[in-house]
Each structure stands twice: as structure tokens, then as C-alpha cells.
Amino acid sequence: MHTHEMIATHPDVRGNTNEALLAAIDAAYACAQACTSCADACLAEQAVAELRQCIRLNLDCADVCAATGVVASRRTGSNETVISGMLEACIVACGLCAAECERHAQRHAHCRICAEACRTCEAACQKALQTF
């Protein structure tokens, strides 16, 4: 990811970066990928029927994280209210997905790693939200 150098060279930012928000952007992209992979890995498990709710939360979390990463990447003009709203939605989506994945963490390594990605993103978004 080139998030830091890209945003640091934005004409309205000029090196004056919000580090907490940058960390949230990177965490959101990483979590979107992890949740996409976890939904796909759960779908391939023999016990797929018991993992439906996990797949649902994974897919929703992937979509919310992807949108959060993109919206939070923009610095032209201002749109703090929408960034805040997406950070809040992202915290909720990551928290619910992490809790479900943690229930399967011992049996499925992909759920364990995905839960960690969700908890990292949840915490990063909470820190970023406090800067607004």
C-alpha cells in the first residue's frame, strides 16, 4: 500500500497527514481482502451449512470496509460527516464479523486470521473517529 505517500503529496495536505486516519485506510483495505477471502474459504468448507451467518457477515464487512477505505482516502474539499458515518458503520461491521469469526477460530484458521484483521480495522477506525 502507498497510502501514506499518496496522501502526503496531496496539494491540500502537504505532509500534514492524519496518521490515525491513514492507519484506518490501510486496515480497511486489508480487512476488505481478508473478509472476501474468508467468505470464499467458508463456502468451500464441508460444514458450509453451519457457516452461512459467517459468510453473510464476511461479505457485508468486505463491502463496508471497501467503501470506507475509498471515502476516507479523499482529501479534496471536505466531507467529514460522511467519513465519520462510514467509520461508525465500519466499526459495527468489523465488530460483528470478528465476533462470529472468533467462534470458528479454533477450527478454521482463515476465520482466526480474518477475526484479527477485523479487530485491527475496528480499533483503527475507532482511533480515526476520535480525530474528527
Instruction: Provide the binding-site residues for a second copy, judged by CB under 8 A.
Output: 1-3, 5-7, 9-12, 25, 29-30, 32-34, 36-38, 40-41, 43-46, 48-49, 52-53, 55-57, 59-64, 66-67, 69-71, 73-79, 81-82, 85-86, 88-89, 92-93, 96, 108-110, 113-114, 116-117
Q: How far is the CB of 127 from a second copy (least distance, A)?
A: 18
The residue among 11 and 130 lying less far from a second copy, judged by its C-beta, is 11
Q: What is the Cα–Cα distance from 27 to 42, expressed in whole angstroms?
A: 22
**Helix/strand/coil for 75:** coil
The contacts found for 48-53 with CB under 8 angstroms, 24 or more apart, are: 51/104, 53/100
42, 53, 70, 97, 111 from 49: Cα distances, Å: 9, 9, 33, 17, 15
- Residue 121 half-sphere exposure toward CB, CA atoms < 13 A: 37
Q: Kindly report the length of the chain.
A: 132
Q: How far is the CB of 1 from a second copy (least distance, A)?
A: 5
The residue among 3 and 128 lying less far from a second copy, judged by its C-beta, is 3
Q: What is the Cα–Cα distance from 119 to 21, expressed in whole angstroms?
A: 16
Q: How far is the CB of 123 from a second copy (least distance, A)?
A: 15
The residue among 18 and 37 lying less far from a second copy, judged by its C-beta, is 37
Q: How far is the CB of 41 from a second copy (least distance, A)?
A: 4
